[in-house]
Amino acid sequence: MASCGGGSAIIVVFVSSILVLLVLPCFSHPLCSDSRAPFSSKTPLLFCPYNGSLCCTSAQDLSLQKQFAAMNISHTECASLVKSVLCARCDKFSADLYTVQSTSRQVPLLCNTTTGSNSFCSQVWNTCQNVSIINSPFVATSLLSQPGTPVNSSSKLTDTWKSKNDFCSAFGGISPDDSVCLDGGPVILADKKPPSPPSGMCLEKIDNGSFLNMAAHPDGSNRAFYANQQGKIFLATIPKQGSGEEMKLDESTPFLDLTDEVYFSTEFGMMGMAFHPNFAQNARFFASFNCDKSKWNGCSGRCACNSDVDCDPSKIGTDNGAQPCQYQTVIAEYTANDTNSQPSTEARPIEVRRILTMGLPFTGHHGGQILIGPTDGHLYFMIGDGGGVGDPYNFAQNKKSLLGKIMRLDINTNPSPAEIDRLGLWGNYSIPKDNPYTLDKDLQPEIWAIGMRNPWRCSFDSARPSYFMCADIGQDHYEEVNLVTKDGNYGWRAYEGPNPYNPPKAPGGNTSRDSISPIFPVMGYSHSDVNKNEGSASITGGYFYRSTTDPCLEGRYLYADLYAGAAWAGIETPENSGNFTSTKIPFKCAEDSPIPCTYVPGNTLPALGYIFSFGEDNSKDHFVLASSGVYRVVPPSRCNYSCTKEKATTTSPPTPSHATCNYFGLTLSLISCFVLSYILMI
């Protein structure tokens, strides 16, 4: 499991008799301090010695140069060190360097080894302690807030800090091999070879139903919700691993039945569901589905092809006999409250709130998955480019269009009518204040990331929530997995995966490849990898495997192909780098599967049918949702796959990564015990 910016490093700092607890952030993969992904600057930086993937534009580089010049540092060696501190803003790991407990720092985390004699923090102190620095970034925040402090005051480190220990307690950090801290130059992670891929993935079949979505019950129990494409959601009980039991699901009593509202066909239906984190208390949940406005009067919204995006629906023509925007995508809120205001086993099929309605120009590529962000509580909505070969109207790159985007909506704050009108919102939601439109005035306020063709199954890593993975279905040649970040542009249709793409028709115009900074996929596969004739291929995204059931899969991202019956496992090496390698892995069913699996004649793979989705329950076990049923990942030994880690975990309990103690019945890390003990004593 990857560490969080140096593991669970905790630094207890005593400054002016105040205890300060600093916990390194859990960004892990390269991120800029504004939560955007690093990029390649089209103009080389002239002041800061960074190149390749970085977090500074040439304008920001110039601003840092001016800030440095104004400091008027006469000591050459000290000036060089301070420059490296300022330029850390350009490091591709600046989010880790400048953020502690979600609080922004003025000075990056300086590397400070346990001995401290040769650390970068020690170098800064030893070299600069008696050097005057105008507007020093090392001046204590408490001093800056005191009345009468000159704005352009010149100070030495010794004016604020009594010793090197005090200084490095405030600005330094413990520096194990895999930590992220400033050592005087770009952060470089230890290069490690990827571990050997697992020998295979073992499955058991626990249900015959065909479902498109799965969501663990927010109450933490062994229950989960399953939704089929026709428009029904069911509440099921998942059996314990090794019990030999089937999943308990009563199809005669659905949790929610929206089949009267949902338009169901090959490309349409109930596309997503999400449950509020406080569902056990407020019973709120959300459904994403398609409807036909010719069959349901509640199916009415603006057409995504409109004058705002230079698109005329009358000129699109028909698609499979359908008129433009005859079909709509809907996100609606429902409640499961019963008379006791507690979630019941059946929900009311009446909308509490219509979150969003949008007319679809074509009959494909509309994604539809919804997720609740694990750290921000906002609703993420994944929608494709609207259909048509090669995104003919260039919706995915058009910042005024919501098609081909990942949206981020505040569903906990009701918007005022004035806000809806002012921002031109598509429904009843608010805009999170830190959405990237604040950084790019051309973006619609709902947009979190752009350049998607048809995102099909995204997930947040339960161990590292900043790892937001989205699989995106390709056009002709390549299926991709993207590591999605704020304001990221994932290339379509200027690129298909890492390759330039030229659409056969472009009535909506083109986006120059030189005008964008695309973020290329971290994993993926060519159609030729699953079909020699480059025929049908369609990626299905999954999850990072965080269960202890198969320890040889732990930490790997699982994904598959909808049609080919092929699965891959990706691993990040070195940890926290954002660099992934993936390997196709075999899989089969356990002979003692609760429901016997069928096999294709002459084929060693079980006949799963179409692989629609993956799922994850509250125990972090993984599930494959296929047209032939629901399958669960089980210990590899049940399929005679070798995994030495499995044998190790069965002979002795796992060793905790940190020493622990117990307070009031709570198991705490040793450092947390020290902090708690100190608080209790004062």
The pLDDT tens digits of the residues spanning 186-239 come to 998 887 888 899 999 999 999 999 999 999 999 999 999 999 999 999 999 999
pLDDT computed for residue 18 by the predictor: 30
DSSP string, 172-218: EEE--TT---BSSSS--PPP-PPPPPPS-EEEEEEE----SEEEE-T
Question: Residue 90: helix, strand or coil by DSSP?
Answer: helix
- Interhelix angle 76-87/120-128, nearest 10 degrees: 140
The torsion angles phi and psi of 104, rounded to 5 degrees, stand at -70, 140
Q: Is the pLDDT of residue 375 over 90?
A: yes
CA distance 315 to 597: 49
- Residues carrying CATH 2.120.10.30, the chain: 205-644
Question: If you average pLDDT over residues 459-479, what whole number do you get?
Answer: 96
Let me know: does 576 contact 2? Beta carbons within 8 Å.
yes
Let me know: does 134 contact 128? Beta carbons within 8 Å.
no
pLDDT computed for residue 557 by the predictor: 98
CA distance 169 to 181: 14
pLDDT computed for residue 602 by the predictor: 75
CA distance 171 to 370: 40
What percentage of the chain carries pLDDT values higher than 90?
72
Local confidence band at 523 (pLDDT 50, 70, 90 cut-offs): very high
pLDDT in tens, 74-123: 999 999 999 999 999 999 999 999 986 667 888 999 998 765 568 999 99
pLDDT computed for residue 373 by the predictor: 98
pLDDT computed for residue 650 by the predictor: 44
pLDDT in tens, 614-628: 999 999 999 999 999
Local confidence band at 404 (pLDDT 50, 70, 90 cut-offs): very high
pLDDT computed for residue 189 by the predictor: 86
* CATH class of the domain at 205-644: mainly beta
Please give the sequence-ordered ranges of beta strands (E in DSSP) within 562-676, or none if there are none: 567-572, 580-585, 587-589, 611-616, 622-626, 629-634, 660-663, 666-669
Residue 526's identity, in one-letter code, is: S
Query: Please, which residues bridge with residue 661 across strands?
Result: 668
pLDDT computed for residue 114 by the predictor: 60
pLDDT in tens, 415-465: 999 999 999 999 999 999 999 999 999 999 999 999 999 999 999 999 999
CA distance 475 to 43: 32
Q: Is the pLDDT of residue 654 over 70?
A: no
pLDDT in tens, 151-193: 567 889 999 899 999 999 899 876 555 568 999 999 988 878 8
pLDDT computed for residue 673 by the predictor: 43
Local confidence band at 670 (pLDDT 50, 70, 90 cut-offs): very low
Question: If you average pLDDT over residues 136-164, what whole number do you get?
Answer: 72
pLDDT in tens, 59-80: 999 999 999 999 999 999 999 9
Local confidence band at 338 (pLDDT 50, 70, 90 cut-offs): low
